[in-house]
Amino acid sequence: MAHRVAIALIGLLAAASGFGQTYDILLKGGRVIDPANRIDAVMDVAVAGDQIARVTRDIPSEQAKRVIDVTGYIVTPGLIDLHAHVYGYSGALWPDDTQLTTGTTTVVDCGGSGWRTFDDFKKTVIDRTGTRVFAFLNIVGKGMVGEQAENDVADMSPEKTAAKMAEYPDLIVGIKTAHFARKGYAAVERAVEAGKLSGKPVIIDMRITTEYDRTTQRIFEIMRPGDLRTHSYSDHQVELLDRSTRKIHPFVREARRRGLLFDVGHGNGSFIFPVASDAMKDDFAPDTISTDLHNSSIFTTKSDMPNVISKFLHFGMPLGEAIEKSTVRPAKVIRKFPELGTLGEGRVADIAVFKLQEGLFGFTDSRLRRLLATRKLEAALTLRAGRLVFDQDGLAFPDWRSAGDYEIIPAP
């Protein structure tokens, strides 16, 4: 009987403690960096359901069901990786494994699917992942499935590409062209034509520029303001920098002035330390930070979002700017701002928590050269639409010593 009363009492106490708890999760005491709202300060972030409910100083712990102490950590909007591979391409990775574990809540698949394969992409990946997945649709109808398909100009239909984009205007955010190993500008022209028909941006990879009798200047002329060039810090064709002066080519600066955007797209073969170093010294930071993460780069250059951000921190980019180029800027490029890329109150609670480690850390680039740096950004915790999906340090859980007695397991 006494036992039953005690249980009832516990129930009452639980109900009482629930009273006034407006928030489901409270991230307490972290350094909040939310460039969209010009915030870089120690603040609390309260989440209710799948939304950010409040961002301010000193939200009382009693108002939340679950309080997570993130003192000493950095709290940002969930990162947006503008260039990764999660479908079609042979090196595609399941995004939850590689993105949610690195503070990245949104990923854009960069050309894995074309208009012929997008429905399958949606059914097998987009509809099934915890990560929010968008697509740059390949101008090739079959998508990024190998050289033969990717060189097939007859399968590059701006009309059919734009028609598929009109069918899924929320999911398909632009067009990709890549790996075109034939002469001429057909791939770029058709991708831009699809961009004009759909009113969306085109992202162009490095190899399509100066190989095969093409010039970067001509490509830039075809591109429109808001279109992107990815793999910017590769020097396969020495495009950004003049090798003799190690300065940015004037025509590259002119392209930026005209509104062309420069994305990182680190990957396995597209990020070289001296190029990034010289470009940063000559005031040519990227517009957007992205990984080009696939099944090779995840092992060689380990280029997930915090890794790429850490490299730019080393080359002099302030942390706030790196976060901006991994949140607000990509959200704007894919026309998802302010729905994404901010910790604004009422926005979806896609939130990343990082630690900025100090010490001595080794990084590698596409030539597998080593860089020693003194800071390293590491993902600690990820919320996706208010749900705790990753917690590297067990921040959300009670200390083991406060968790009560041993659970006695009877001997067999």
Q: Residue numbers of the site for Zn ion (CB under 5 A)?
A: 110, 292
| Closest separation in Å from C-beta 230 to Zn ion | 7
Q: Which two tokens stand for residue 187?
A: 């791939």
Q: Which is nearer to Zn ion, 191 or 319 (CB)?
A: 191
Within 185-288, residue ranges assigned H as helices are 186-198, 207-210, 216-222, 250-257, 273-281
**CB closer to Zn ion, 90 vs 245:** 90
Q: Name the residue with the smallest CB distance to Zn ion.
A: 292
For residues 196 and 161, is the Cβ–Cβ distance under 8 A?
no
From the CB of 292, what's the least distance to Zn ion, in Å?
A: 4
CA dist 123 and 284 (Å) reads: 40
Closer residue to Zn ion, CB minimum distance, 104 or 382:
104
CB neighbours of 283 closer than 8 A, spacing ≥ 6?
A: 248
Bridge partners for 138 per DSSP = 176
CB of 58 to Zn ion, least distance (A): 44
C-alpha distances in Å from residue 47, one per residue of 347, 349, 367, 390: 10, 7, 43, 16
Look up residue 310 and give its amino acid. Answer: S
Select 110 or 275, whichever has its Cβ closest to Zn ion. 110
The contacts of residue 357 (CB under 8 Å, 6+ apart) are 375, 376, 377, 378
Q: Are strands 104-110 and 202-204 parallel, antiparallel or unpaired?
A: unpaired
- What residues contact 369, with CB distance under 8 A and at least 6 apart? 273
Q: Considering the complex, what minimum distance in angstroms separates the CB of residue 264 from Zn ion?
A: 11
If the CB atoms of residues 296 and 374 are measured against Zn ion, the closer one turns out to be 296
Strand-strand pairing, 370-384 and 351-364: antiparallel
Measured from the CB of residue 276, what is the shortest distance to Zn ion in angstroms? 17
Of 95, 83, 118, nearest to 201 by C-alpha is: 83
Query: Nearest approach, Cβ of 172 to Zn ion (angstroms)?
Result: 17
Cβ nearer to Zn ion, comparing 198 with 290: 290
Least gap, CB of 83 to Zn ion (angstroms): 6
316: tokens are 């002099």
Smallest separation (angstroms) from Zn ion to the CB of 122? 20
Triad 96, 97, 100: Cα angle to 5°: 55
Nearest distance, CB of residue 179 and Zn ion, angstroms: 9
Give whichever of 209 and 342 is closer to Zn ion, judged by the CB atom.
Answer: 209
d(CA 209, CA 206): 6
Query: Residue 265 or 386: which CB sits closer to Zn ion?
Result: 265
CA dist 94 and 77 (Å) reads: 22
Count of beta carbons in the 10 Å neighbourhood of residue 7: 10
Q: How near is the Cβ of 134 to Zn ion at its closest, in Å? A: 15
Q: How many angstroms separate the Cα of 344 from the Cα of each of 69, 280, 321, 336? A: 20, 30, 18, 14
110 versus 194: smaller Cβ distance to Zn ion: 110
**Nearer to Zn ion (CB atom), residue 297 or residue 342:** 297
Q: State the burial class of residue 58 (Cβ atoms within 10 Å of its Cβ: 0-12, 13-18, 19+).
A: exposed
Comparison of 31 and 294: residue with beta carbon closer to Zn ion = 294
Q: How far is the CB of 112 from Zn ion (least distance, A)?
A: 9
